[in-house]
């Protein structure tokens, strides 16, 4: 598989506090990789480091672009989308105004396809079309997560970073969200790096998994192998992987 994202020896932190200690991972073309671990493992910092919102050192490249030496705006224009934890919804704008903010990060030369992509987004998320003229603050938590994904898609990313998409969602809504992620990979020709505590749900849609603990990679394997490894789940993933409803611990 051709690697789209290559990360080697990546370190990052906040001031004098280091949160990542030499991370190595890859994401291939049209691949979903789940980054798993408990709170404080370094999942959010990893995604922020890759998107240029946290200073990082080491090597991280997206299709040959050195992410550690590139500003966040240029990284986004190069095809890296980031759906942060908390969704980042602008509640005072309408749903469609929120979605159209994705145009700001769209690669040069693709603006002419924006209307067609917006129509595709509404096909993927019909509820957003129904509510497109309403304030985004009127959406439920699950709908706001869809809105955050829609905004990122309109930027036409090659690689989509998604941070804790199930956070705060009811189990059924969370299951719907993971099903959408699986479809997006095929329908939009995306690679996805998915940071999640909900190991069971993540590994169902991922091709591979990377387990973090205290800012270090402790395991990398095909998703099915990680899902079957009871000792690994007990040591690093708590009870989330074993919950019958996939509820994050």
Strand order in 32-36's β-sheet? 80-83, 159-163, 191-196, 32-36, 208-213, 216-222
**Does the pLDDT of residue 112 top 70, yes or no?**
no
pLDDT band at 168 (very low <50, low <70, confident <90, very high): confident
Q: Are strands 80-83 and 191-196 parallel, antiparallel or unpaired?
A: unpaired
Cα within 13 Å of Cα(174), Cβ side: 20
**Residue 245: predicted pLDDT:** 35
69 or 168: which leads in pLDDT: 69
Over range 198-209, report the average pLDDT: 93
Q: Indicate the domain borders of the chain.
A: 3-242
pLDDT digits (tens, 9 = 90+) for 17-26: 999 999 999 9
Least confident segment among 51-55, 84-88, 118-122, 131-135:
84-88
This prediction has a pTM of: 0.90
**Does the pLDDT of residue 82 top 70, yes or no?**
yes
Q: Which CATH class is domain 3-242?
A: alpha beta
Over range 57-69, report the average pLDDT: 96
Residue 181: closest CA among 17, 31, 11, 2: 31
**Residue 60: predicted pLDDT:** 98
Residue 42: closest CA among 215, 163, 220: 215
Q: Which two tokens stand for residue 172?
A: 């059924």
């Amino acid at each position: 598989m051709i690697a789209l994202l290559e990360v080697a020896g990546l370190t990052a932190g906040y001031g004098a506090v280091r949160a990542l200690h030499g991370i190595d991972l890859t994401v291939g073309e049209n691949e979903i990789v789940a980054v798993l671990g408990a709170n404080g493992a370094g999942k959010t910092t990893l995604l922020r480091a890759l998107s240029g919102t946290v200073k990082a050192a080491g090597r991280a490249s997206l299709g040959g672009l050195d992410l550690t030496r590139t500003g966040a705006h240029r990284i986004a224009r190069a095809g890296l989308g980031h759906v942060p934890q908390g969704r980042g919804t602008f509640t005072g704008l309408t749903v469609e105004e929120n979605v159209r903010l994705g145009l700001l990060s769209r690669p040069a030369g693709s603006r002419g396809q924006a209307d067609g992509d917006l129509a595709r987004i509404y096909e993927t998320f019909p509820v957003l079309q129904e509510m497109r003229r309403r304030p985004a603050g009127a959406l439920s938590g699950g709908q706001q997560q869809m809105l955050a994904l829609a905004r990122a898609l309109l930027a036409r990313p090659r690689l989509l970073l998604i941070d804790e998409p199930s956070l705060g969602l009811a189990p059924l809504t969370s299951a719907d969200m993971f099903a959408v992620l699986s479809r997006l990979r095929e329908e939009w020709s995306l690679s996805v790096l998915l940071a999640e505590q909900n190991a069971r749900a993540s590994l169902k849609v991922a091709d591979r998994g990377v387990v973090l603990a205290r800012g270090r990679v402790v395991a990398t394997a095909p998703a099915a192998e990680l899902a079957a490894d009871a000792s690994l789940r007990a040591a690093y993933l708590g009870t989330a992987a074993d919950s019958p409803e996939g509820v994050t611990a």
